[in-house]
């Protein structure tokens, strides 16, 4: 019996057709990496990292985004071992490892002896999907944020990021985070309820492909939580993004955040698989 020949290398624009085929095996789960690939065409100056490919007998079987986030794609056990070795050899130090739990946890097990302990391991994150409009009445106040409202929305973005991730997004690279928020507004990917200069609710589309998009940063003003604002507001966002960005809407949420999970379930999101995030 012939032995399988394996190798790992950074993918280049010439690999795009084969990489697209790999990513399309699960268009929803692989949405983030497909978005990065589509936006950069694997050009190193735009990617801010690399996408590695793991090959068996010359065929691409797994991939891994290695930049600010390490994200395995269709990763087999052997591929995870190869990715872990490459991460350590290249001294990649991401802010997080994110993806399907059944690949993130084995990858972290390989890296934890050198990197651990994690700052915040989030080992059970329901990945939720919605392919239709909600049965909830959408909140008519939800709308895309205008670029001249940047100074109004930005403090809410900082507050949400700090609350959710546990670090100040302005620490070390304030201009980078400001640019990202401005980019999302300019793309029409930032949505909010703003009344009298106050952000009542906000969220963004963090990544999108022609097939699906992913919500991030869902936020309700702390003084207004527990009043049932999130459900109708998210329902409105779903309705709008399905018409303007992509037909399927996804998100993932921490399992312990029962209030958010219940709100998403009321909207109509269904738990289809489970993610994990290791925040470093």
Structural contact between residues 253 and 128, judged by C-beta atoms closer than 8 angstroms = yes
Q: What φ, ψ does residue 36 adopt, rounded to 5°? A: -65, -40
Give the torsion sign (CA, 84, 90, 96, 99).
negative
Judge whether residue 203 has pLDDT over 80: yes
φ and ψ at residue 43, rounded to 5 degrees: -75, 120
- 106 has a pLDDT exceeding 80: yes
| Residue range 81-102: mean pLDDT, rounded | 95
* Strand-pair category, 190-195 with 143-144: antiparallel
Cβ atoms of 56 and 5 within 8 Å: the answer is yes
DSSP secondary structure code for residue 121 in this structure: E
Mean pLDDT value of segment 46-61 = 94
Strand bridging mode 198-208 / 69-73: unpaired
SS3 label, residue 127: strand
The alpha carbon torsion through 89, 90, 94, 96 (nearest 10 deg) reads: -40
List the helix and strand counts (H, then E) for the chain: 9, 12
Mean pLDDT of 132-137: 98
Which domains are delineated in the chain? 6-117 (3.40.630), 130-275 (3.40.630.30)
Q: Residue 17: pLDDT above 70?
A: yes
DSSP-H helix ranges across the chain: 16-23, 31-40, 44-47, 77-89, 101-115, 150-165, 174-187, 230-244, 258-267
pLDDT of residue 166: 87
The pLDDT score that the predictor gives to residue 2 is 67
Report which DSSP code applies to 49. S
Q: Residue 225: its pLDDT value, please?
A: 94
In the block, which residue shows the tokens 């936020």? 219
Using one digit for the tens of pLDDT, what is the confidence trace for 145-169? Answer: 999 999 999 999 999 999 998 889 8
Q: What's the pLDDT band for 12 if we cut at 50, 70, 90?
A: very high
pLDDT at 112: 96
CA 100 to chain centre: 11
Question: Residue 4: its pLDDT value, please?
Answer: 84
Residue 10 has a CB neighbour count (10 Å cut-off) of: 16
Task: Fill in the DSSP letter of residue 139.
Answer: P
Split at pLDDT 50, 70, 90, the class of 1 is low
Question: Biggest alpha carbon distance in the chain?
Answer: 72
Give the mean pLDDT of the chain: 95
Q: Tell me what the mean pLDDT of segment 132-146 comes to.
A: 98
Give the residue-averaged pLDDT of 224-246. Answer: 97
Average pLDDT over residues 61-83: 97
pTM of the entire predicted model = 0.94
The secondary structure of residue 169, as a DSSP letter, is T
Rounded mean pLDDT, 259-277? 97
Contacts of 75 (CB under 8 A, 6+ apart): 54, 62, 63, 64, 83, 103, 107
Compute the average pLDDT of residues 86-113.
95
Position 59 scores a pLDDT of 97
pLDDT per position as a tens digit, 31-44: 999 999 999 999 98
Query: For residue 145, how many other CB atoms are within 10 A of its CB?
Result: 23
64 φψ region: left (φ > 0), alpha (ψ -120 to 50), beta (else): beta
d(CA 88, CA 113): 11
């Amino acid at each position: 019996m012939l032995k399988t020949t394996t190798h790992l290398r950074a993918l280049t624009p010439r690999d795009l057709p084969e990489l697209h085929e790999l990513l399309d095996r699960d268009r929803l789960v692989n949405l983030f990496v497909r978005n990065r690939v589509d936006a950069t065409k694997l050009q190193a100056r735009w990617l801010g990292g690399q996408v590695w490919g793991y090959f068996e007998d010359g065929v691409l079987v797994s991939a891994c985004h290695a930049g600010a986030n390490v994200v395995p794609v269709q990763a087999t056990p052997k591929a995870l071992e190869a990715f872990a070795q490459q991460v350590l050899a290249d001294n990649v130090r991401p802010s997080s490892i994110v993806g399907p739990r059944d690949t993130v946890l084995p990858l972290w097990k390989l890296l934890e002896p050198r990197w651990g302990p994690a700052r915040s391991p989030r080992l059970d994150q329901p990945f939720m999907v919605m392919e239709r409009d909600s049965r909830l009445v959408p909140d008519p106040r939800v709308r895309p944020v205008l670029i001249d409202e940047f100074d109004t929305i930005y403090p809410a973005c900082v507050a949400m990021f700090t609350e959710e991730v546990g670090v100040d997004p302005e620490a070390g690279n304030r201009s980078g985070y400001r640019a990202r928020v401005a980019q999302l507004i300019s793309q029409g990917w930032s949505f909010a309820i703003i009344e009298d200069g106050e952000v009542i609710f906000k969220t963004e589309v963090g990544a999108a492909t022609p097939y699906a998009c992913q919500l991030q940063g869902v936020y309700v003003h702390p003084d207004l939580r527990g009043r049932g604002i999130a459900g109708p507001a998210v329902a409105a966002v779903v309705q709008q993004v399905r018409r303007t960005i992509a037909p399927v809407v996804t998100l993932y949420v921490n399992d312990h955040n029962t209030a958010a999970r219940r709100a998403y379930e009321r909207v109509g999101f269904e738990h289809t698989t489970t993610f994990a995030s290791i925040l470093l």
